[in-house]
Structure 1
Amino acid sequence: MTPYIADSAPIDAAAWQESWDRQQEAYLPDREHRLAAMLDAVAAVADTDRPRLLDLAGGTGTISLRALARFPHAEVTLVDQDPVLLAIASASLAGRAVLGTADLRTPDWQAGLPTGGFDAVLTATALHWLPADRLTTLYAEVRALLRPGGILVNADHMPDDGLPGLTKRLTAHADARRTARWAAGAALSWSDWWQRVTADPVLAAPAQRRREIYPDGHTDSAEFLPTAGWHLDALRTAGFTEVGTVWRGGPDAAVAGVR
């Protein structure tokens, strides 16, 4: 992790957070439910009002902001690689969290993180960009960052192993509903949101750095979206003593591993 240094240009953090949330909710209508379930898991394992949290691939700070609202004295660290999302997170969190740049594809991403063991590592709709072998290794790396009894929670598209046919139908239904929202102008699509970023002069510098990091952009073909069972097996392989599902909504789930 390299400490994040914000650009000097002011960012309208509230507007960009609102825009990001609405864009994400078109994909994840029950987004707030999954985030609340993740924080419930933190509350269950933390024995202090100052839990130490790592927001892994934290983007604009969605989890960090909600964690600080629920645990005002929490010690929060957020890491991500995307310069645009980090810029928004930095403006939104305004010094209430430690921010760092980290490439989770490399084993040295954890260098520079605060020491002492985290109570929880939380991540949502982010790790699907990693291939299977790297994600399995990352789970083990995260386990090493947790204190004994600490928890990792990863929420993402994780179909139920026993419902492959129903999962396809649920996904098709959600796709149709989202397409209708886009057509009605009720929400921005992923590509439309990034076009607005590119057109914003305040975000021009981080947007240029982002293009250098992701010259081809993120594409669906790069996503790795296995079943919840695959994730649970990977968590067991990584050495977690307890693994299970703490939330499910249709084809999405949040899996947890306790060290």
Structure 2
Amino acid sequence: MTAKHVSNWQSWQSSWDRQQEWYMPDREERFRVMVDTVEALAGRTPRVLDLACGTGSISDRLLRRLPDADVTCVDIDPLLLTIARGHFAGDGRVSFVEADLTDAAWTARLPHTSYDAVVTATALHWLDTEPLDRLYATLAGLLREGGVFLNADHMKDESAPRINAALQALHTDRQTHQRGQGSLDWAGWWGEAARDPHLAEAAAERFALLGDPRKPRTDPPRRDRPTATRWHIETLLRQGFSEARQVWCSTSDALVAALR
């Protein structure tokens, strides 16, 4: 692989981060708290499962802080996995698994039967209540006793609607300004990725498998997706975790930690 090609993967990893930050300007802060929690509860040499890893944003930050960690990255998206594999090419600390988390047998593809930590961000909100409930039970079985699960995702606190509305309005104004300066949204990023010849094959596979993010959705939104932080905490406790609590939040998102 040429140096130019390596640089291209790193560029796409950074581009994904910038696109996500357009939606979540405090994204780096949530990652910091997430890695803090992994270090506090799993130590400096943890075996980590990066669930729905995308381009590997969490793993990248985790390995900067904890260079002796061992990470398994799991995702179903062939394009994002292509970028992640390119970004971590030659790094023996990282392994990759392509799997559907709604498949009951997905854990059979993992290189290990037990992990010290499981981390995920802005991913599990795609799952409806029933498969997410089952996934939490599966994760309780994958973590060693004393291991930690961390989920940073869209979780709402509806107790202060005026505060929420005011902060959301400010965020929307900032997004509008940033778009005027060239920031890419979700559809725009996928359009750029599909035009890259190194990603064209993976993009076609992704669009056939999971849909084309460049096109507006025409199907009605699915309603059976949990949005409250309390639901996640209570479900994790019911599925075998000994403790669970929110360790970080923004207006629309939260980071929940659960101890096995």
Normalised to the residue count of structure 1, the TM-score between the two structures is 0.90
Instruction: Please name the residue that 2:37 is paired with.
Output: 41
Q: How does 1:7-18 map to 2 (within 5 A)?
A: 10=5, 12-18=8-14
Aligned amino acid, residue 17 of structure 1: Q
Q: In the superposition, relative to structure 1, how do residues 154 and 208 fare at CA in structure 2: closer, same or farther (>3 Å)?
A: same
The answer to whether 1:142 aligns with 2:126 is no
Indicate the RMSD between aligned Cα atoms, in angstroms: 2.0
- Contact 1:159–1:167 (CA<8 Å) still a contact in 2? no
CA shift, 1:114, in A, is: 2.5
CA distance in 1, matches of 2:166, 2:133: 29
The answer to whether 1:226 aligns with 2:227 is yes
- 2:174 pairs with one of 177, 183, 190: 177
Which residues of structure 1 form unaligned runs of 5+?
A: 1-8
Which residues of structure 2 form unaligned runs of 5+?
A: none
Aligned amino acid, residue 94 of structure 1: A
- Contact 1:160–1:251 (CA<8 Å) still a contact in 2? yes
Q: Percent identity over the alignment?
A: 45
Q: How does 1:1-259 map to 2 (within 5 A)?
A: 10=5, 12-47=8-43, 49-96=44-91, 97-185=94-182, 187-215=183-211, 217=213, 221-222=221-222, 224=225, 226-259=227-260
Range with bigger deviation, 23-32 or 212-221? 212-221
CA shift, 1:32, in A, is: 0.6
Normalised to the residue count of structure 2, the TM-score between the two structures is 0.90
Deviations 1:201-236 (A, max 9, x none): 111110011011113549593583511111111111
CA distance in 2, matches of 1:172, 1:123: 27
CA shift, 1:116, in A, is: 4.4
- Contact 1:116–1:147 (CA<8 Å) still a contact in 2? no
- Contact 2:128–2:226 (CA<8 Å) still a contact in 1? no
CA distance in 2, matches of 1:109, 1:164: 39
- Contact 2:236–2:258 (CA<8 Å) still a contact in 1? yes
Aligned amino acid, residue 69 of structure 1: R
CA distance in 1, matches of 2:161, 2:133: 23
Range with bigger deviation, 157-166 or 144-153? 157-166
CA shift, 1:169, in A, is: 3.6
Secondary structure of 1:138's aligned partner: helix
- Contact 1:50–1:73 (CA<8 Å) still a contact in 2? yes
Secondary structure of 1:147's aligned partner: strand
